[in-house]
Structure 1
Amino acid sequence: MGGGARGNSRVGARYGPAREGALVNAPEEVPGTGPVPGPYPPPPWHLKGQMWGGLFPAESVPAPPPDLSRLLPRTLAVFLIRYRAGTLRYDELIVGTPVRRGRRAGLYIQWIWVDDERSLWGGRRIWGVSKRLAEFRWDGSRVRVTDGEGPVAVLDVTTKLPSLPRLPLPMTGFGSVDGARTVATARFNARPAAASLRVTEWSARLPALRRADARIRFAATSFDMLMPAPARYPAPTAT
């Protein structure tokens, strides 16, 4: 797909090669291995910013590891976050699957991009999420995300004011470091608001979406998050 996605048409595209000078992904494919080019902040990370999120029906979604169970079939959660103050300042795109581990529900992060190298290595080494470097180019309410392999996504976001009063909203994420399962629950206080989240371009490296608009969408006009060091559990095994 070279242009926009319309209506409920499937959203998926095959793009050309990465443009010259594009940001290159870190060499480490498995969190916790490989050289670290520079320091990153220790946990906890205190971050403030804005967030947009939504749930999208997808053609197919890779199965999570055996210790995690899907909460929704063929569904991807997409989050676009702008961390504007705190430990670090950076933009982030998350694509993952809503899951549970025992009685604890959260997000299994399958793809994630950031535009800050310290966030990349901290995410990999502390929380065990395979962050990649990308460029986030904003034009008003539209953002184009590009990494070393080429375009990732183009998203249009809007927030419908007024927002609600600030509320505590716990957020749990699952990762993996050195084969161990990591589980981190952030202390997250936000002013939630109605929003729109629309995908106008989507890389073929990601599962194809069945519609361009999020089925369920939401935003936080401002949030304050404290992300602690994760708990670690024995490595998951196949059954």
Structure 2
Amino acid sequence: MTPYPKEPWHLAGQMYLSLWLVPARELPPVADGTRPVTIAGRGAVGAAWVVYENDSVLHYNELLRAVLVRDGRRPRVCVTDIWVDSAASMAGGRELWGIPKEMADFDIDRTTGVRARAATDQGALATASFEPGRRMPGRWPLTYRVTQTLGGALKTSSVRSRSAVRPARARWTARQDGPLGELGRRPPLFSLALDDFTIRFGDAAPGASARQAPTP
């Protein structure tokens, strides 16, 4: 069994994020008991490339897609698809929070702008290019809650983050018969580069058992 850090996870690094408004019929399935937030028949879908580095409890790459949902009247984020290149991250994400992490291979080049590609044995998942613009003043805080299905029930976890922010131009492509096919069908509504972010993911649970990873 793969060891992983107990929650909360303290993570840091770089994120490259895009947001789309997608027709409701194209939205991926979300956690049971939640429903997508829709406006004029469209839902909010975000996708991001993440490089966890610096002071992160684990160092790895990630590609994810998430949907804005409601749990009753409460807005939440539901991660519907996610790939990583760390077995510890995959095991911890699934077992702690019900996040459906899978393994993939990544190629992320940050020498001139950002060029990213992720693939599995079945082929390419997505590619993207980001051209970040001028950095906005300050470091921007963001707090939200992620809701997933874990053990047949809803599991809601807090996320607190802070980062420098740069607007970006982004272009995504995805295999049309793949799980992220709709991301390549239309340009994103907007994109951001979140520089040198810090994230606290999850909630400390005194007395709960969690397997501890060796100190990286």
TM-score (norm 2): 0.81
**Counterpart in 2 of 1:89?**
59
Unaligned runs of 5+ in 2: 206-216
SS at match of 2:89: helix
Aligned residue-pair number = 195
1:83-123: CA deviation from partner (whole Å, max 9, x where unpaired): 11220111111112111213332221111000111000000
Cα shift readout 1:133-186 (whole Å, capped 9, x = no counterpart):
111112342111011322100111222122331121113212121111111121
Which of these residues, 109, 118, 121, is aligned with residue 148 of structure 1? Answer: 121
What amino acid does structure 2 have at the position aligned with 1:208?
E
1:227 positional shift = 1.0
Counterpart of 1:132 in 2: which secondary structure?
strand
Structure with the largest fraction of strand: 2
1:225 alignment partner in structure 2: 199
Name the CA distance, whole Å, in 1 between partners of 2:202 and 2:32: 25
2:182 matched residue in structure 1: 208
Match of 1:79 among 48, 57, 82: 48
Aligned mates of 1:165, 1:39 — CA distance in 2: 37
1:218 partner letter:
L
Q: Are the aligned partners of 2:174 and 2:182 in contact in 1 as well (CA < 8 Å)? A: no
Higher relative contact order (CA 8 A, sep 6+): 1
Q: 1:203 deviation in Å?
A: 4.7
In the TM superposition, 1:1-239 aligns within 5 A as 37-58=1-22, 60-72=26-38, 73-85=42-54, 86-140=56-110, 141-206=114-179, 207-209=181-183, 211-229=185-203
CA offsets per residue over residues 18-64 of structure 1, 9 Å max, x none?
xxxxxxxxxxxxxxxxxxx3211111111011112122244612343
Instruction: Quote the sequence identity (%).
Output: 28
Partner-residue secondary structure (3-state), 1:170:
strand
For the aligned residue pairs, the C-alpha RMSD in angstroms reads 2.1
